[in-house]
Amino acid sequence: MAQGQMAPGIVSGRLSSDELTSNFTDLHPPLAPHEAAVAADRCYFCYDAPCVTACPTDIDIPLFIRQIQAGQPQAAGQTILEQNILGGMCARVCPTETLCEEACVRETAEGKPVEIGRLQRYATDDVMASGAHPFERATSTGKTVAVVGAGPAGLACAHRLAMLGHDVVIHEGKPKPGGLNEYGIAAYKSTNDFAQAEVDWLLKIGGIAIETDSVLGETISLEGLQQNYDAVFLSIGLAGVNALRADGVDKDGVRPAVDFISDVRQASDLADLPVGRNVVVIGGGMTAVDAAVKSKLLGAEHVTIAYRRGRDAMGASRYEQDLAASHGVRILCNVQPVAIHGNGAAAEIELEYTASHDGRLTGTGETVRVPADQVFKAIGQALDGAPEGLTLDGNKIAVTGAGRTSMTGVWAGGDCAAGGEDLTVTAVAEGRDAAMDIHAALSA
C-alpha cells in the first residue's frame, strides 16, 4: 500500500460536522451556582473524612465543599489548588468513582456519593475565570532547576519550585506542553482546549520557562543538565508501547491507541479524522475505553474492546466500562489476540478464549474471529530512552522517598517513576512532593 494511503474501510467524514460537535461535547457539563450549592449541601463534612485519605493529593475536601456551600468558590479553589495545582484537569479526568467518591460516606450509606469531582471543577474553574493567579512567587533563591517533561508531574513540580523562588526551565520534547493532559486525555473529557488554558494559567506564577522540541537523549543530555542546573527532575512519561504478540500486527490499520487519541486531541477538524467501520481495541484500561468511545463518536459502526481477563480485572473502572457500553461498545472478556488477518490491511482479528488456572492465564484453543479494519493496541506503555546510569525498578526509574533517583541531584516522578498509579492526580502529587524535597536539598 502506498505511503500515506489509508487502509480500505478507514475513512474520514463518517459523520457530519454537526453530529461530531454534538458527540464531543463536555462529558460532565459544569455545575451552575445553584446546582453546586445543592450538591455541596449533601456533604456530611466528616471530621475524619475518608475522601481526603482516598485523594492522592490530600485535598481538604470537606473544607472546600463547605466553602462552596458558604458561597465562596474562590476560597474553595484556593484550598484545592494549594494541594493540586492541576485541580481543574483532575476534576475532569480523575477516576473519582474509585478514589474520593468511592470512599464518600454517602456512597457507603446510599450508593450515591457527593459529586466531589464536579464541585472541584466548579471551584477551580471559578478561580481560573477570574484571571488572577492565587499564589505569589517567593524572593529568588538564585537556584535553577531543569524539569524534563511538561506533563502533570513536571508542571506540578515546576510550579511549586517557582513558587518557592527557584528558576525553572521545562524541557519538553513535543511541540506543546501538557503531556498526557494535552495529548492523551479523551477529547470529550477535556474540551475547549482546557489543557493549554490551564498551562497558561499555571505559568502566571512566573519563574518558569518552557523549551519545546527539547528531547532528552537527542537535543539535551542528563549529564549536560546536571552541569548546567542545580537539580534535575525527570518526568518523561512512558513513550514506548508494549508489543502485541500476534501474527499480522504489521498490517495497515493496526496502531497504538495512544497515537489515535492524540490525533483526535490535536485535530483542527474532527470530520477529517479517518476511522474504521469495524474497530477492535485490545486492552482493558482507561486508554482502551477512551479509544473505543472516540471511535464510536467518530462514526465507527461496530466497536469491540477485547480483554484477556474477566471484567473485574480490567484497569478501567466499572464506571468507565459502563460509559463504553452506553455508547454501544461491546466488551469481550477472556480473549487474547492470536492473529490479524487481511491482505496487506487488517480485515478481521482472530481471538483465542482464555482461562485462568491458579492465577496463570492460558489459552483454551477455542477461537473466534471478529471483523476489524482498524485495531488499536492499548496494552500498556513502557519507559523509552531512560538515561544511562539510572537504576531501574522493572521498566521504570527506581526512586526513594519523594522521588530521589540513584543519581545525586536527580529526581523523578509521574508515570516514568516506579511506585504509585499511572494517574494524572498521582503524577501531580509526585511532582509536588519532589519539588518540596528538591527545595529542602537546595536550601541545606
pTM of the model: 0.94
Residues 271 and 372 in one domain: yes
- Spatial neighbors of 47 by CB under 8 A, at least 6 apart, are none
Question: 239 falls in which pLDDT band (50, 70, 90)?
Answer: confident
Domain boundary among 129, 163, 183: 129
What tens digit of pLDDT does each residue of 154-171 get? 999 999 999 999 999 999
Q: 10 in a domain, yes or no?
A: no
Question: pLDDT exceeding 90 applies to what percent of the chain?
Answer: 89
Closest Cα partner for 210 from 150, 143, 167, 163? 150
Task: Reply yes or no on whether the pLDDT at 3 is more than 50.
Answer: no
Q: 197 in a domain, yes or no?
A: yes
Residues 185 and 215 in one domain: yes
What is each CA distance from 167 to 147, 260, 307, in whole angstroms? Answer: 11, 36, 46
Residues 259 and 355 in one domain: yes
Helix, strand, or coil (residue 168): strand
Mean pLDDT along residues 6-30: 89
Domain boundary among 70, 100, 129: 129
Residues 122 and 38 in one domain: yes
pLDDT at 1: 45
Q: 4 in a domain, yes or no?
A: no
Residues 285 and 325 in one domain: yes
Closest Cα partner for 280 from 291, 269, 272, 264? 291
Task: Reply yes or no on whether the pLDDT at 4 is more than 50.
Answer: no
Q: 134 in a domain, yes or no?
A: no
Exposed / middle / buried, residue 205 (Cβ in 10 Å: 0-12, 13-18, 19+): buried
What tens digit of pLDDT does each residue of 59-71 get? 999 999 999 999 9
Q: 315 in a domain, yes or no?
A: yes
Residues 148 and 246 in one domain: no
Residues 162 and 264 in one domain: no
Question: 6 falls in which pLDDT band (50, 70, 90)?
Answer: low
Residues 235 and 247 in one domain: no
CA atoms within 13 A on the CB side of 63: 15
The CATH number given to whatever domain includes residue 216 is 3.50.50.60
Question: Total structural domains in the chain?
Answer: 3
Q: 79 in a domain, yes or no?
A: yes
Q: Report the helix count and the strand count for the chain, using DSSP H and E.
A: 17, 17
Q: What is the mean pLDDT of the chain?
A: 95
Residues 234 and 246 in one domain: no
Residue ranges making up the domain that contains 53: 33-129
Residues 225 and 247 in one domain: no
What tens digit of pLDDT does each residue of 82-119 get? 999 999 999 999 999 999 999 999 999 999 999 999 99
Q: 23 in a domain, yes or no?
A: no
Identify any residues that bridge with 256 across adjacent strands, giving them in sequence order: 377
Exposed / middle / buried, residue 7 (Cβ in 10 Å: 0-12, 13-18, 19+): buried
Residues 414 and 341 in one domain: no
Residue 282 contacts residue 379 (beta carbons within 8 Å): yes
Using the CB atoms, write b or e for 138-147: b if 16+ within 10 Å: eeebebbbbb
